[in-house]
Chains A and B, each alone.
Chain A
């Protein structure tokens, strides 16, 4: 059985966050809120965005 490369996954996650963080705030919120709804919390996102997500959760 193969194993998952967690380091690589983290690198990809960080790269995606970097791209998303360059978007307008409303789109960032949409993306992160949808991920929340799917059960996934992205680590290391902007603290203001995180606050808004928690407020609306």
Chain B
């Protein structure tokens, strides 16, 4: 399905949000351009969030420190350093350590899940998830 078709059904903005009202700023980290674009559209149009994007773990660390998002939605398997390594790097930086990071990955491995939580991620969402669970989890931790 094209993003244009998806936008037709799911992504009309809620009238409750004014143009200058944001529900928070989220950094979306995924190496797939399509997945990233989709999540950005979803979060901006359906959630009213402001978004930033990163395609690699290194870029995620750089943007987390320089742009200070409220929350990061992080894929685990990434080119270069993994999402878990990127999380450790962010948590080790005093200016970004407080940012909540949610894993959003198709990886089934219990070991990766444990590593993600040990690195400081607050939740592990295993793809695919329902819209409700995705948005509820984001809302829970962005307002925490």
Interface residues of A (CB under 8 A from B): 1-6, 8-10, 12-13, 15-16, 19-20, 30-31, 34-43
Contact = CB atoms under 8 A, between A and B. Distances in A.
Contacts of A16: 9-10
B45 to A, nearest CB: 11
Contact of B128 (A6, A30, A36): A36
B1 A41 contact: no
B136 A1 contact: no
What's the dominant secondary structure at chain A's contact region? helix
Contacts of A37: 34-35
Interface stretch (B17-25, B51-59, B77-85, B115-123): B17-25
Interface of B: 1, 5-6, 9-10, 12, 14, 16-17, 21-24, 34-35, 38-39, 42, 46-48, 70, 104, 106, 127-132, 134-136, 138-139, 142-143
